[in-house]
Amino acid sequence: MKTRKAWKKLGRRIPADTQPEQVEVVADVSRHLFAYHQTVSEEEYLHQFKDRFIRQGDDLAQAWDALEKRLSDWLTDFSNRPGPQIEQGWLEMVTDHERLLDWGLELAKPFELLSIPIPQPDPILWSQALQNCREGRLASILQDERAFDLAIIRRLDQQLVKEEEDHHHPFYLMPYWEYFGKIFKSLETARFDHDLEQAIRIREFHLMFGARFSQRHFTLFIGPTNSGKTYQALQKLTKASRGIYLAPLRLLALEVSETLNAWGIPCNMVTGEEKIIVEGARHSASTIEMLPLDQTWDMGVIDEAQMLGDPERGWAWTQAILGLQAREVCVISAPEALPAIEKLLRITQDPWEVIGFYRADPRNRPDCIFPQTGSWPQRDP
Residues 237, 305 within the same domain: yes
Q: What CATH number has the domain bearing residue 333?
A: 3.40.50.300
The span from the CA of 237 to the CA of 113, in Å, is: 71
Helical ranges in 40-170 per DSSP H: 42-48, 50-75, 83-113, 123-142, 150-165
Instruction: Tell me, yes or no, whether 234 and 267 share the same domain.
Output: yes
Q: Would the pLDDT of 367 be above 50?
A: no
Pair 184, 263 in one domain: no
Q: What is the pLDDT of residue 310?
A: 86
pTM score of the predicted model: 0.45
Report if residue 152 sits inside a domain: yes
Instruction: Quickly count: other Cβ atoms within 10 Å of residue 201's Cβ.
Output: 6
The pLDDT of residue 211 is 60
| pLDDT band at residue 228 using 50, 70 and 90 as cut-offs | confident
302/251 same-domain check: yes
Residue 195 included in any domain: no
Structural domain boundaries enclosing 32: 4-37
> In the chain, how many domains are there?
3
pLDDT digits (tens, 9 = 90+) for 292-324: 888 899 999 999 999 988 888 988 998 899 888
**Statement to judge: residues 264 and 297 lie in one domain:** yes
Say if 265 falls within a structural domain: yes
Are residues 14 and 68 located together in one domain of the fold? no
pLDDT band at 242, cuts 50/70/90? very high
* 150 and 266 part of one domain: no
Predicted local distance difference test score (pLDDT) of residue 253: 93
Instruction: Examine the domain organization and report whether 23 and 56 are in the same domain.
Output: no
Digit-coded pLDDT (tens) for 77-131: 766 677 788 888 889 999 999 999 999 998 888 888 778 889 999 999 999 999 9
